[in-house]
Amino acid sequence: MKTYDDILIDKLENGVCCITLNRPEARNALRTQLLAELSDAFNTLNFDDSIRCVVLTGGEKVFAAGADVAEMASMGMMGIMQDERPKYWASIAAFPKPVIAAVNGYALGGGCELTMHADIIIAGSNAQFGQPEINLGIIPGAGGTQRLIRTVGKALASKMILTGEFINADTALSAGLVAEITQPESCIDRAIELAQKIAQKAPLAVQQVKAALNKSYETSLSDGLNFEREAFVMLAGTDDRNEGLAAFLEKRKPEFNGK
């Protein structure tokens, strides 16, 4: 896999790839180049059958301080209209394999929005989540007004987005934004452990689960149930489903091949 400047790619054992945002001097601010690299990495990993789950982190100190404010300040209305960043965000959102965000320190603005593109968020106890765009005279631009409210509810999302106040890991856990809290130094390892567990499951079933869960965000219950039903029927035609059921009955560990 190719190397990048703003992100580090680490292919680990057991089907997991770890992507680390790597602009520590700018608190991992998401400049266009970083987003383009992230999008390219996800597109590449999509077609890499050896990778079944991705861990996304900013390291042990900070996840990401949001869009690069210096870069944004140089963009006028035409620049924003012709902005290539929405295209990169869309390809991150469309990545079909599970993504686990391991979040230490600040996840602000676009950084908080990036965590919400993940399927599971594991937070170090030092994590802080916030949408402080209002302090800059702008609003969230990568789905923050839509995804945060669907995740933590109107009361907390409105408070965070209207005041710019941050929430800590405990509040994020009780609000349902994060799945688990760890010590900061264990956060990435715990995310990798979960990713390796997911990577052992049947890949087609895992991808259908991700698609169905995401569908629930944007459709009615009856349409969502239809989607689930179709996915369930489709999976009945896979080798892995036959292998999973047979392995249970034969009291052995299944060997899934993604077919």
Active site residues: 67, 110, 113, 133
Minimum distance of ligand DAK from residue 77's CB (angstroms): 12
142 binds ligand DAK (CB under 6 A): yes
Task: State which of residues 18, 29, 100, 181 lies at the interface with ligand DAK (CB under 6 A).
Answer: 29
Task: State which of residues 8, 69, 93, 179 lies at the interface with ligand DAK (CB under 6 A).
Answer: 69
Give the Cα separation of 104 and 125 in Å (integer): 7
Beginning with the edge strand found earlier in the chain, give each strand of the sheet holding 99-103 in spatial order.
Answer: 7-11, 16-21, 53-57, 99-103, 120-124, 180-182
Which amino acid is residue 172, in one-letter code?
A: A
Using alpha carbons only, give the angle 210, 211, 217 rounded to the nearest 5 degrees: 100
Minimum distance of ligand DAK from residue 82's CB (angstroms): 11
202 Cβ neighbours under 8 A, 6+ residues apart: 238, 240, 241, 243, 244, 254, 256, 258
Minimum distance of ligand DAK from residue 26's CB (angstroms): 4
Residues 113, 107 contacting (CB under 8 angstroms): no
203 binds ligand DAK (CB under 6 A): no
136 binds ligand DAK (CB under 6 A): yes
Cβ count near 49 (within 10 Å)? 10
Look at residues 198, 234, 222 and name the one whose alpha carbon lies nearest to residue 98. 198
Task: Report the residue number, 164 or 224, with the smaller CB distance to ligand DAK.
Answer: 164
Look at residues 138, 114, 160 and name the one whose alpha carbon lies nearest to residue 21. 114
68 binds ligand DAK (CB under 6 A): yes
Minimum distance of ligand DAK from residue 204's CB (angstroms): 31
26 binds ligand DAK (CB under 6 A): yes
Instruction: Give the SS3 label for residue 4.
Output: coil
Task: State which of residues 127, 133, 160, 190 lies at the interface with ligand DAK (CB under 6 A).
Answer: 133
Minimum distance of ligand DAK from residue 60's CB (angstroms): 14
Give the Cα separation of 7 and 225 in Å (integer): 38
Binding mask 76-115 for ligand DAK (x = CB under 6 A): -------x-xx--x----------------x-xxx-----
- Ramachandran sector of residue 34 (left: φ over 0; alpha: ψ -120 to 50; beta: rest): alpha
117 binds ligand DAK (CB under 6 A): no
CA 245: distance to chain centroid?
A: 30
Dihedrals phi, psi of 251, to nearest 5 degrees: 55, 50
Minimum distance of ligand DAK from residue 225's CB (angstroms): 32
27 binds ligand DAK (CB under 6 A): yes
Task: Report the residue number, 136 or 225, with the smaller CB distance to ligand DAK.
Answer: 136
Instruction: Give the SS3 label for residue 181.
Output: strand
Task: Report the residue number, 20 or 207, with the smaller CB distance to ligand DAK.
Answer: 20
Name the residues that contact ligand DAK, by CB under 6 A.
26-27, 29, 65-70, 83, 85-86, 89, 106, 108-110, 132-133, 136, 141-142
